[in-house]
Each structure stands twice: as structure tokens, then as C-alpha cells.
Amino acid sequence: MATASMVKGAFRGISQSRFLTIFRIKELRQKIIITILFLAIYRIGFHVPLPMIDQGKMARAMRGSDEGILGLISMFSGGSLSQSTIFGLGIMPYISASIIFQLLASVYPPLEKLQKEGESGRKKINEYTRYATVVICVIQAWFWVTYIAKRGAGGMDLALEGYDTWMYLTVSIVTMSAGTIFLMWIGEQIDEYGIGNGISLIIMAGIISRIPDATHSLLFERGQLRASIFMLGGGGTAGDIGLEKILVLVCMFILVVVAVIAITKGQRRIPTQSAKHVRGRRVYGGTRQFLPLRVNQAGVMPIIFASSLLLIPVFVFKWLSQTFNWNWAYSLTAAFERQGYLYNIFYILLIYFFCYFWTAITFNPKDMANNLKDYGSFIPGYRPGKRTADYLERVITRITYVGAAFLAAVAIIPSLVSAALEVNYTVASFYGGTGLLIVISVALDLVQKINSHLVMRNYPGLTED
């Protein structure tokens, strides 16, 4: 399990000489520069608006839309619903397509066979995922374009020049779909030529880009610093941000950071022992080692998967309510958009499901037991083979339950804080919850990859003594 030393090691300061060492290694320096350039291109795209839309009037019409489930969409896409740009869909369609094929690969024999073929099978599945991404992009872009068109038609002060024409619909849908496909390509280029996971870095960059706006909305009102932040109780007006709320948000930020690092780096170490081999007068083997099993084996993927799947009911129920004027569809739309108890229940259930699902994909107890047997190692008290595999499966099931409980608790923090402290959901999501979890997890993974490059060239890692 995680110890205080792990958290301390994660926060240990990086000396200037070690930081400069990163840029002395030519290959690592090129990877970092390429990654930064691609992420810069990604951010530039969010300042390129869709044609035929008055962005100023749209901002006024969509004011307050970046809350609840729609705020979650904005966070993952990296943009804002008050603007409609060529990257407005973000990378979520690609993530949704990846989820579909990950699920199908476990139940559909042809895909399962492709997955076992190695690199060639993986390339084929990636090709299918790209095709599915295009279809999902077109569907989501159509929903979004028709949604903002209805907002304009409903007298929301949104001036769209010819929004009800096929030309506008076609241009907007094709442009937004092409933007997401380009983001998918950027992620693949980062994977191949940069450093870190491209898709995860794109999501992290989108989240970080929204932190200054969230902080500004928390501390300022109409361009002026809130006087209530220096008073307990916020001055007595409902919705004011008082000093105690600021302190709670700061404490929550620190606690979540420490907890995420502890769980991410936490391990269940299973003792193993290698068999002794006698060759001549020498005895080899017999050493005791540890098999580390991560508490959060699935990482941040269950949060991303669960969040992306919960976007589907919002669009479906909204479309049903607007098309058929069904009351139950209105109720369900409101329940999911407000992120009430119904949304949180489904959120927790999906997080648990994807934790176990992703762990089952990435960790195979039977293969691990066979590898231990092939290398002449065993777990004391358990015979090699089936008994070892059963023991490993039992252990990974228990620790995955703990990891999933932690992810579920962190994921619903913004909803609870937003309701309890009357803080904007966008603010709460950055100072505790999914956004902070993703940023920290991706940052730790990036540091680990940089460390592997340094250690491979006999340099000390960034977090080593």
C-alpha cells in the first residue's frame, strides 16, 4: 500500500541541474519539443470559430451553460460551450469509439482474435476505431449544431446567418468532424514522436487551460475582486464566496492531490522467491523479491470512460424531449444535466465496472502465474500454476475494489461541493474531482516516462534522491 515516503518522493523538489539534464539528451529534448508544439497547435484551434456564427452573441445566449454535465463536456473537450470552434467536439468522439471497441473485443470473437495477433491486430482495430470516430463525430456535431440553431430560433439573442439552411449544417458538421479527426491525428503523432500518451495529454491540456478562467470567476465579479472573500460567511448574501469557502477549496485541493498521488503510487507487494539451482560448487537463485500490484491498476481510464458514456443519455433525452415533448424525457434530461443523485449512482456504477473491466484487460493472473513458473519463481505457500493464479486473482479483485472506491469518491466531489458550498460547478471540478485527478495522473505518468529515459542513459531520475 502507499506510504508517506511515496507521497514525499512524489513532491520532492527537482533541482535545476536535473531539470537541465532533460534538455541535454538530444532524443528526449526533441520528444518534449515536438509534444509542446503539437499541444500548442491543439490550443490554437480553439480560437478558430465556426463560420456564420456571431461569437459575441453566442456567448451571451449560452451564458451559464458550462455547468453540470454540459460543463463536464466543456472540460473534456478543452473548450467552452459559450464558443463554437473547429475543435468544439474535442477528443471525446475518439474516446467513445475506443470504449466501444474495447468492450467489443472482450465479447466479439473476431475482434478478440485480432487483439491477440499482436501489432498487426492492434493496427487493424485502430483503423476500425478511426472509422467509428468519424461516424460519432458526425452524429455529435449534428446534435450540437441543431441545438445552437434552436437556441437562436427560440429568441436567445443568437444571430446565425442562415443557420436553418443545409449549407450551414453541412459546413459546420464537416468542420467540427474534421477538427476532431485532426486532434486524433495529433494524439497519434505525440504517441509516435513525442513523449507521453497523446490523448491523455490533450485532455490534460484542455483541463489546465480552463483553470485560470475558473479561478478568475471564483475571485472576481464584473472585473472587481470580490470583497466577500475576506469575510467569514461571505457578507451574508446567498451565493457569496466567503473566506471559509476559499479555505475549504484550498484544503480539498491539497487533500485530493495527496490522496491521488498516494493511491496512484500505492502498491500491494506480493513476496516471491526464486528456486535454488546448484551448478558445480555454486548455488544460484533462492533470492526473495516482490511482485508489485498497483492499487489503482486501471489508472484514470475508468473516470474518462464513465464520463463519456454518461454524455449519451443527455443528448438522447434532450432530443426525445424536444422532438416528442415527453415529460419523462424532460425529467431525465434535467436529472442528468444537474448531476443529481441519479447521475451520481450511474457514475459510481460505471466507474466500478470499468475499473474491473480495464484491470481484466491489462492484468491476466494466469499469464502472470505462468511467467513466474517459467522464470523459476513462486509465491511462498502457493503451488505454481492454478493455485498461484487463483491467489493473484483474489488479491487483484480486492485491491481493485479499493481503487474503484477511491475513484468514485473523487469523481463525485465536485457535485457534492457545488451543492453544499453553492460554488459554481466549473470551479469545484478543478479544485477537487475528475479534472484534478486526470491532471495529476497524467502528470505522474509523464514524469515516469521522462525518468525511464534518464535512467536508461545512467542519469538520476527526477524524483530520486
Tens digits of per-residue pLDDT, 158-173? Answer: 444 555 577 778 888 8
How far apart CA 457 and CA 248 sit, in angstroms, is 44
Domain assignment of residue 395, yes or no: yes
Domain assignment of residue 278, yes or no: yes
Structural domain boundaries enclosing 343: 1-12+228-438
Residue 153: which pLDDT band, with cuts at 50, 70 and 90?
very low
Judged against a pLDDT cut of 80, whether residue 110 lies above it is answered with: yes
Compare 223 and 206 and report the one with higher pLDDT: 206
pLDDT at 156: 46
DSSP 336: H
**Stretch 135-158: mean pLDDT, rounded?**
69
pLDDT at 352: 92
Residue 36: which pLDDT band, with cuts at 50, 70 and 90?
very high
pLDDT at 155: 45
pLDDT at 159: 44
Cell numbers standing for residue 239 = 451565493
Least Cα distance to 97 among 67, 132, 54 occurs for: 132
pTM beyond 0.85: the answer is no
Cα-trace Rg, the chain: 25
How many domains does the chain contain in total? 1
Domain assignment of residue 420, yes or no: yes
Least Cα distance to 190 among 199, 181, 182 occurs for: 199
pLDDT at 431: 62
The phi, psi pair for 104, rounded to 5°, reads -65, -30
Judged against a pLDDT cut of 50, whether residue 96 lies above it is answered with: yes
CATH number of the structural domain spanning residue 423: 1.10.3370.10
The number of beta carbons lying within 10 Å of the beta carbon of residue 147 is 14
Cα dist from 202 to 255, 263, 280, whole Å:
25, 23, 57
Domain assignment of residue 153, yes or no: no
Residue 71: which pLDDT band, with cuts at 50, 70 and 90?
low
How far apart CA 249 and CA 259 sit, in angstroms, is 15
How many CA within 13 A on the CB side of residue 323?
9
Domain assignment of residue 337, yes or no: yes
Domain assignment of residue 354, yes or no: yes
Judged against a pLDDT cut of 70, whether residue 465 lies above it is answered with: no
Per-position DSSP letters for 255-273, written without gaps between them: HHHHHHHHHHH-EEEEEEE
How far apart CA 186 and CA 174 sit, in angstroms, is 18
Cα dist from 419 to 129, 292, 339, 341, whole Å:
38, 39, 10, 12
Residue 190: which pLDDT band, with cuts at 50, 70 and 90?
very high
Cα 279 versus chain centre, distance: 52
The three-class DSSP label of residue 86 is coil
How far apart CA 186 and CA 42 sit, in angstroms, is 8
Cell numbers standing for residue 278 = 546448484
Residue type, 240: D
What's the length of the chain?
465
**Stretch 360-376: mean pLDDT, rounded?**
84
Judged against a pLDDT cut of 60, whether residue 15 lies above it is answered with: no
Domain assignment of residue 86, yes or no: no
Judged against a pLDDT cut of 50, whether residue 157 lies above it is answered with: no
How far apart CA 66 and CA 82 sit, in angstroms, is 8
Judged against a pLDDT cut of 80, whether residue 267 lies above it is answered with: yes
The phi, psi pair for 367, rounded to 5°, reads -65, -40
Cell numbers standing for residue 61 = 445566449
How far apart CA 113 and CA 413 sit, in angstroms, is 40
The three-class DSSP label of residue 212 is helix
Least Cα distance to 139 among 101, 96, 104, 103 occurs for: 96
Cα 4 versus chain centre, distance: 26
Task: Characterize 300-336 residue by residue with b for buried, 16 or more Cβ atoms within 10 angstroms of its Cβ, and e for exposed.
Answer: bbbbbbbbbbbbebbbebbebbeeeeeeebeebbebb
Domain assignment of residue 255, yes or no: yes
What sign has the CA pseudo-torsion 55, 56, 59, 62?
negative
pLDDT at 217: 75
Among 71-75, 292-296, 304-308, name the one with the lowest average pLDDT: 71-75
Residue 106: which pLDDT band, with cuts at 50, 70 and 90?
confident
